[in-house]
Amino acid sequence: MQHLTRFLCAALITLLLCFSSAAAQSPDGRRAAQGSSNRVSVRAQAGAPLRISSVVDNSDDADAPLVEFVVENVGAKPIQAFWISYDTVAHGANVTLGMGVNANKPELTLPSGKRRALAIINRAKEKIALSVDFVEFYDGSTWGADTARYAESLAGERAGARAEAERLIKLLKMNGPQAVKEAIADKVNYPDLTTGSRSEVSFLIGVRATRFRAQQAYEKGGLPAVESALQQPYDTSAASLSR
């Protein structure tokens, strides 16, 4: 009886929120639609090696409410990874969101002069201010304030991926294929997190990514493919390739 009560309460809450969310979103949409002309801006950043340009605001397109833009490497050095931030309003709160792009294959690195198209969804038709938060060059040097602490994430992921690949290769040699098959199916247990534990989490994300790659390789080509996958670097960064 107690379970039934809890279930019914949960269902009730879900429906309440469904209704209130639908009711709350439409006024915002209308308000923003009226002032759409200056909805998207790009923050001026002196000396940024990555330039945001060709911004197209299609937020009013009901089927694809996108803000599309292009990032271009206007510096001299090839870019391996970068973080694009955008300030906006979500459910009434001022927030800074963003995306981190890390080249996981050579054709995704950005040599000097090369451009890459990106987009973000803007269903709420809110104002958006784009900026470049962080750039990591192919040689490992960096640029930017890195408020998103992306450098820490990248370092943790690469270290985790490398450590897990080495562990699995060792396991394969010592305990054989079955042990590796079981190891890559293991779940990663994440600890209770705080924002201070980013390095630890990033390390585990690297571990998780390696197991996922190994699983994919196993499904496609069995254990021989797993060994080959484990030899591959996590990404195309100097940090990964110098392993």
Partner 1 sequence: MNKMRCATLLLVVALVGTTAGCNLQEIINLLRSAGFFIHTLATVREAGRTRIVDHPHVLTNGFHQRDFAGAAGDSRRCDVETDDTGHATCLQGRAPAIWEFTYFGDRSGLNLCANQHFAVFSAPLATSDILCTDTIGIFFTAVPDTIDVQAPPPVVTVYGEGISTEYGMPLVEYWNETGVVVAQTTADQVAPDGTWISANTPYIDPNSTFGGAYTVGINNVMADGTYNTVGYASLTVTNSNPPPLPEPYPEPTPEPCNNVGGEQMICETTY
Binding site for partner 1 (CB under 8 A): 4-6, 8-19, 21-23, 54, 56, 58, 63-64, 66, 68, 70, 83, 90-91, 93, 95-102, 104, 115-121, 123, 148, 150, 153, 157, 187-188, 190-195, 198, 201, 205, 208-209, 212-213, 216, 220, 234-235
Give the whole-angstrom CA distance, residue 103 versus residue 196.
26
Minimum CB–partner distance for residue 40 and partner 1 (Å): 15
Minimum CB–partner distance for residue 5 and partner 1 (Å): 5
CA distances from 216 to 43, 164, 220, 223, 231 (A): 41, 16, 6, 11, 14
Minimum CB–partner distance for residue 173 and partner 1 (Å): 25
Identify whether the C-beta of residue 102 lies closer than 8 Å to the C-beta of residue 156. Answer: no
Judged by CB, which is closer to partner 1: 16, or 178?
16
Distance of CA 99 to the CA centre of its chain: 5
Q: Specify the 3-state DSSP secondary structure of 72.
A: strand
Minimum CB–partner distance for residue 202 and partner 1 (Å): 8
Judged by CB, which is closer to partner 1: 33, or 56?
56
Judged by CB, which is closer to partner 1: 143, or 150?
150
Judged by CB, which is closer to partner 1: 176, or 221?
221
CA distances from 222 to 36, 50, 137, 180, 211 (A): 53, 41, 36, 11, 14
Q: Which of 51, 53, 111 is nearest to 80 (CA)?
A: 111
Residue 183 tokens read as 């190891």
Judged by CB, which is closer to partner 1: 123, or 243?
123
Minimum CB–partner distance for residue 207 and partner 1 (Å): 11
